[in-house]
Amino acid sequence: MSAEIIDGKKLAITFREQVAQEVAQFKEQSQIVPHLTAILVGEDPASAVYVRNKQRACEKAGIQSTLKRLPAETTQDKLHKLVQELNADQSVHGILVQLPLPKHIDEVAILDVVNPLKDVDAFHPENVGLIVQGRPRYLPCTPYGIQQMILSTEMETAGKHAVILGRSEIVGKPMAMLLIQRGLGADATVTICHSRTQNLKEIVQSADIIIAAIGKPEFVTADMVKPGAVVIDVGINRVNEKLVGDVAFDSVKEIASAITPVPGGVGPMTIAMLLKNTLTAARIL
Ligand SMILES: NC(=O)C1=CN([C@@H]2O[C@H](COP(=O)(O)OP(=O)(O)OC[C@H]3O[C@@H](n4cnc5c(N)ncnc54)[C@H](OP(=O)(O)O)[C@@H]3O)[C@@H](O)[C@H]2O)C=CC1
Ligand SMILES: Nc1nc(=O)c2c([nH]1)NC[C@@H]1CN(c3ccc(C(=O)N[C@@H](CCC(=O)O)C(=O)O)cc3)C=[N+]21
Ligand SMILES: [Mg+2]
């Protein structure tokens, strides 16, 4: 039996329409246009895709979006000052610093400067702390989108074994935090795997839910997947000009009960959640 393909693009459109309605209402009441500003330093293929799609999505939802492009050689100090300027700019509600930053930049030091109230990625330690404590201000866009996709399958997550591949601050770690919370689309038993994990294949084989976020094209193969598992593919890899995920989609879909495609899966949902967070930012500022 072939898996249900979780249509992230379609689900994202539903969420974006909802946000667009709320944005329109908010504008009418407040006369304020929600405004997201992203900073992109240098070039990164996954960031390039993100930048393009999110600009378009913002426009459609009635959210103003600005992109600050800086050359790869930009100094720490210059970037730091730009973030401070945006913090002080009353017309900017959401600030997003595209990751990864160039090697010579201290990423953490920059992210720490973002006003936590404008931190729509939820990377600031204050926002991470609130997530860990189960009282989020902003939900991290990619994990939040993934949780919504899992909810859309109507699969019970309570008590299930979720195995996350990757321990990044942007996907793996916050994903684990959402799935261990009490409540709907959560209450899972969570294992995080990374490049030092032993017996990774056996651990993944025991998963009811697999979330692959390592950035290795088609790393998760059919022999690693328990029949009936739900498989979420976060990977955005460019292979011969094509977008490929971290899961060997064609073979895994024959074993899984549900699976997300790349493109058309997690990516569009990440953007939908970013729009939601930008509206939240405009409301709380
Ligand atoms: N669709 C979307 O919305 C988004 C997609 N992405 C994509 O998701 C992927 C992951 O991104 P991100 O989380 O930023 O990744 P990072 O590169 O920051 O982290 C990768 C993680 O994977 C682990 N890892 C690498 N190789 C292996 C391996 N062979 N076995 C087990 N673990 C491994 C690393 O382990 P260690 O810590 O030990 O190095 C690390 O924890 C990328 O393709 C990225 O483009 C990212 C964000 C959003
Ligand atoms: N501070 C920060 N926050 C991020 O959330 C962040 C980041 N930096 N750096 C880069 C990664 C990557 N990322 C993507 C989001 C959406 C798509 C996306 O829209 N994907 C479409 C692509 C469709 C296409 O254009 O081909 C899809 O998968 O269907 C891709 C990649 C967010 N990231
Ligand atoms: Mg660095």
Minimum-distance ligand 1 atom for the alpha carbon of 167: 41
**Mean pLDDT score, 50-56:** 93
Beta bridge partners of 243: 238
> Does ligand 2 come within 6 angstroms of the Cβ of 119?
no
130 lies in some domain: no
Minimum-distance ligand 1 atom for the alpha carbon of 269: 3
Query: Residue 49: pLDDT band by 50, 70, 90 thresholds?
Result: confident
d(CA 65, CA 264): 22
Task: Give, using CA atoms, the residue closest to atom 2 of ligand 2.
Answer: 98
Task: Give, using CA atoms, the residue closest to atom 21 of ligand 1.
Answer: 166
> Does ligand 2 come within 6 angstroms of the Cβ of 46?
yes
Q: What is the pLDDT of residue 92?
A: 98
Whole-structure pTM value: 0.98
Query: Residue 45: pLDDT band by 50, 70, 90 thresholds?
Result: confident
Q: Does residue 70 sit in the same domain as residue 147? A: no
Q: What is the pLDDT of residue 44?
A: 87
| Amino acid letter for position 83 | V
Tell me which residue range forms the domain holding 174.
141-267
Q: How far is CA 145 from CA 8, 138, 250, in A?
A: 9, 12, 23
List active site positions.
Answer: 54, 98, 121
Determine the distance separating the centroid of ligand 2 and the alpha carbon of 49, expressed in angstroms.
Answer: 6
Listed residue (15, 1, 251, 238) closest to 141, CA to CA: 15
157 lies in some domain: yes
> Does ligand 2 come within 6 angstroms of the Cβ of 50?
yes
Q: Could you tell me the CATH number of the domain that includes residue 153?
A: 3.40.50.720
d(CA 231, CA 209): 6
Contacts of 224 (CB under 8 A, 6+ apart): 201, 204, 205, 210
Q: Does residue 59 sit in the same domain as residue 145? A: no
d(CA 162, CA 140): 18
Q: Could you tell me the CATH number of the domain that includes residue 94?
A: 3.40.50.10860
d(CA 213, CA 246): 7
Q: What is the pLDDT of residue 48?
A: 85
Q: Does residue 70 sit in the same domain as residue 152? A: no
Determine the distance separating the centroid of ligand 1 and the alpha carbon of 284, expressed in angstroms.
Answer: 32
On whether ipTM exceeds 0.90, the answer is yes
**Mean pLDDT score, 238-258:** 96
Q: Does residue 243 sit in the same domain as residue 146? A: yes
pLDDT (tens digit, 9 = 90+) per residue, 150-194? 999 989 999 999 999 999 999 999 999 999 999 999 999 999 999
Ligand with smallest separation from the Cα of 110: 3
**Mean pLDDT score, 116-127:** 98
Instruction: Judge whether 127 and 117 are in contact, CB under 8 Å.
Output: no
- Tell me the pLDDT of the chain averaged across its residues: 97
How do the residues of the chain divide into helix, strand and coil, expressed in percent and rounded to 5? Answer: 45, 15, 40
9 lies in some domain: no
Q: Does residue 98 sit in the same domain as residue 171? A: no
> Does ligand 2 come within 6 angstroms of the Cβ of 141?
yes
Instruction: Please report the DSSP string for 31-90 in residue order.
Output: ----EEEEEEES--HHHHHHHHHHHHHHHHHT-EEEEEEE-TT--HHHHHHHHHHHHH-T
Annotated binding site for NADP(+): 166-168, 236
**C-alpha count within 13 angstroms, C-beta hemisphere, residue 43:** 1
d(CA 246, CA 236): 7
Q: What is the pLDDT of residue 46?
A: 84
pLDDT (tens digit, 9 = 90+) per residue, 216-233? 999 999 999 999 999 999
Distance separating the N- and C-terminal Cα atoms of the chain: 50
215 lies in some domain: yes
Ligand with smallest separation from the Cα of 174: 1
In total, how many domains does the chain have?
A: 2
49 vs 112, higher pLDDT: 112
> Does ligand 1 come within 6 angstroms of the Cβ of 3?
no
